[in-house]
Amino acid sequence: MSKQINVALIGNPNTGKTSVFNALTGLNQKVGNYPGITVDKKEGVCKLPRGVKAHILDLPGTYSLNASSLDENVVIELLLNKNDKDYPDVAVIVTDVEHLKRNLLLFTQIKDLKIPSILVINMADRMDRKGISLNIPLLEKQLHTKIALVSTRKNEGIQDIKDLIQDYKSLSTTPCLDPTTIEPDYFKRLDKAFPNQDVYKLWLVITQDVNFGKVSRQELDISAFKTKSASELKRLQQKETIKRYQFINNVLKESLTIDSSKAKDLRSKLDRILTHKVWGYVIFFFILLAIFQAIYDWATIPMDFIDATFASLADWTKNTLPKGAFTNLLAEGIIAGIGGVVIFIPQIAFLFLFISILEESGYMSRVVFLMDRIMRRFGLSGKSVVPLISGTACAIPAVMATRNIENWKERLITILVTPFTTCSARLPVYLIIIALVIPEGRFLGLSYQALTLMLLYILGFGMAVFSAYILDKVMKTKRKSFFVVEMPSYKIPLLKNVGITVFEKTKTFVLEAGKIILAISIVLWVLASYGPGEQFNNAESIVKTENPTLSDLELEDKIASHKLEHSYIGIVGKTIEPAIKPLGYDWKIGIGLVTSFAAREVFVGTLATIYSVGSANDNEDEDTIKSKMAAEVHSNGAKVFTLASGISLLLFYAFAMQCMSTLAIVKRETKSWKWPMIQLVGMSIIAYIAALIAFQFLK
Ligand code: GDP
Ligand code: MG
């Protein structure tokens, strides 16, 4: 006597159902359509020993029996309708060993319908590499089922499935969960009303709006049990899901172990080290250290070259073209201004070279993941790390990047603190001040100057995190969002992609920041070259009568600085001098501070303009910005740029909100002037206090 066994293959999408189906049926299969809908229906035949035939149905992938799509309805309708000609004698639930927990939810639901079930745990070939081990006999006992451990890829375990199907009559139909535990009142009432029906099946009929093949609807008057509101039913469904996961967790706690230290594939190995609780941070720290050291060592050569080139170009212009206002504008305003932009190209290019290599290689996602552990504690989202790291380029794209933080409070905090991170506009200021006041020695092979730069980056990041913490405490709302990050696989960075990023970022800097720097350089030159009243216009005769004994060269110097002091810009600088004196700055630095409220990077250009205007010294060595700043002295002969005033300036620039464009973008993103104003005032106060404390302590 030959009998046909109906087998349904059920499982979450991508667990390998179709692969199992192919392994069981080989070429004995056909693809049709479910009546009325365009969902593929795959059927096939599997020959078992003793002339038994199994009719195999490959059902569409489904996550649970709480249907939400057409595909899933197909599965539920079949399982709830005993009269369907395909109604399974045995359900084969296919799971992926790597996602067993999630996959078992559906298994427990089908089991509770009391359909004889076989559990196929597929992808067994991956267990070794992932360090997964399973106690199969224990798992079979806990789930009241029979298990086939299968790898369709290696064609292993297929015979086990066949044997289990053949013996389907010996399968237990003991359920996993007692449905009355979901909500005793409701389910006991249901049981009383329909004593001949299965409670869990009833529950599914009530909650699903699918067609159960007329029969059940006519047989049952379930309307009384649908009186509960839809949201109430949803709540019960959620309760059911939670109960099921509790059950699954308890089961897997005993029978499944994942020893990630045994995982053997390269990616898991790398992930384990790079996102390690301790080593992950240590490695990230050393990578940053290496990057900053490299920027220092490699960028100084082209930078010195550019610096010298523009200095001699300005010299040549002055000496070749006819003397006059235009030549001065060209040499002292325009060429100096362009030089002030071009000189930072090497540094910015190197920084973005490294950032884009980190991104392309897949390491950056690990950093985001790593930093999420810290960020959480400070009212920031893990996603805040992306804006904060992009902030090292420029606060403007960084503020825009906060858009993918769903939680408004976390997003606002991120926007408010992002300008603390060290953007590339601060880099020029940092570099020149560091070169001036930090000694050149090395510590363990690392230069003091590189270390200082790195400290400034850490300081900016630390301040951002610290103020986020304060803001989180000040702003009341409690809600936290969840953090999900896609971990791409590691790959060798594509040279082309890296190249494009470096080129684009550098171009943006030159065009966007460069525009402002150049424009302001020219405006500054004008403001510095003209002034109101006697003192400016008759500077020459005034200086000559006051200092009758000076040599020509010294006289020229004196006149130039006298003019600058009484130019328009000198007046502004002098006006604010009393306020900035306690920070260790004179009125010339004051001018730099004022102009850099437009954009920080203008500071260096400003000083370059001021000093090249202020010193008519023709000595070749004296012509670079750096040496001019180094030679700058107060009226009492003391150096202007000392360790104390230098650190004070560095701190001021680290904390102050000196960027009109960022304020504009914050206004746009928060839709009010309130937040950018809070940012401007708050950050300026912090900067002033930090600079004041630093100077008063160090002087
Ligand atoms: P379905 O969506 O459940 O029908 O799953 P498929 O049969 O289409 O398989 C999904 C993916 O898993 C495919 O890329 C298969 O190559 C892969 N796959 C299936 N079985 C195995 C297995 O035993 N081992 C491994 N490593 N991969 C498998
Ligand atoms: Mg499939």
pLDDT tens for 489-503 read 687 887 878 888 788
Q: Measured from the CB, is residue 179 less than 6 Å from ligand 1?
A: no
Q: Which long-range contacts (CB under 8 A, 24 or more apart) does 261-268 make?
A: 261/131, 262/131, 263/129, 263/130, 263/131, 264/128, 264/129, 264/131, 265/129, 265/130, 266/490, 267/489, 267/490, 268/129, 268/130, 268/131
Tell me how far apart the alpha carbons of residues 472 and 16 are, in angstroms, rounded to a whole number: 46
**Which bound ligand lies closest to the C-alpha atom of 16?**
1
**Which bound ligand lies closest to the C-alpha atom of 60?**
2
Residue stretches of the chain with pLDDT short of 50? 1, 212-218, 479-482, 613-622
691 and 548 in one domain? yes
73 and 128 in one domain? yes
454 and 389 in one domain? yes
Distance 130 CA to ligand 1 centre (A): 17
Q: Measured from the CB, is residue 387 less than 6 Å from ligand 1?
A: no
CATH of the domain at 25: 3.40.50.300
Q: Which pLDDT does position 337 carry in this prediction?
A: 77
Spatial contact of 126 and 97, defined as CB atoms under 8 Å apart: yes
Q: Which pLDDT does position 208 carry in this prediction?
A: 73
Distance 629 CA to ligand 1 centre (A): 68
How does pLDDT run across 422-471, given as a tens digit for each residue?
987 788 889 889 988 888 888 887 888 889 999 999 999 999 999 999 99
Q: Measured from the CB, is residue 11 less than 6 Å from ligand 1?
A: yes
**Which bound ligand lies closest to the C-alpha atom of 19?**
1
Q: Does a structural domain hold residue 316?
A: yes
Radius of gyration of the chain (CA): 37
Q: Does a structural domain hold residue 261?
A: no
The reply to whether the predicted model has a pTM over 0.95 is no
How does pLDDT run across 494-553, given as a tens digit for each residue?
787 888 878 877 787 677 667 766 777 788 778 878 888 888 888 778 878 887 777 776
Q: Measured from the CB, is residue 123 less than 6 Å from ligand 1?
A: yes
Q: Does a structural domain hold residue 658?
A: yes
89 and 112 in one domain? yes
Tell me how far apart the alpha carbons of residues 535 and 520 are, in angstroms, rounded to a whole number: 25
108 and 220 in one domain? no
Q: Does a structural domain hold residue 371?
A: yes
Token pair belonging to 345: 């190209």
Q: Which pLDDT does position 36 carry in this prediction?
A: 61
Distance 61 CA to ligand 2 centre (A): 7
Q: Does a structural domain hold residue 215?
A: yes
Q: Does a structural domain hold residue 256?
A: no
Tell me how far apart the alpha carbons of residues 507 and 513 are, in angstroms, rounded to a whole number: 10
Instruction: Give the residue from 137, 170, 203 where a domain finishes.
Output: 170
Spatial contact of 582 and 695, defined as CB atoms under 8 Å apart: yes
Q: What is the position in ligand 1's atom list of the atom closest to the CA of 154?
A: 23
Instruction: Give the residue from 126, 146, 170 where a domain finishes.
Output: 170
Tell me how far apart the alpha carbons of residues 681 and 675 are, in angstroms, rounded to a whole number: 10
304 and 193 in one domain? no
Q: Whose CA is nearest to atom 22 of ligand 1?
A: 123
135 and 22 in one domain? yes
457 and 550 in one domain? no
545 and 471 in one domain? no
Looking at the 3D structure of the chain, how many domains does it have? 4
| C-alpha closest to that of 458 among 296, 603, 288 | 288
Report the C-alpha dihedral over residues 185, 191, 193, 196, rounded to 10 degrees.
180
Q: Does a structural domain hold residue 685?
A: yes
- Show the domain range for 403: 279-475
Residues in contact with 156: Cβ distance below 8 Å, sequence separation at least 6, in sequence order: 124, 125, 149, 150
Q: Does a structural domain hold residue 492?
A: no
347 and 399 in one domain? yes
220 and 163 in one domain? no
Beta strand 90-96 pairing with 4-11: parallel
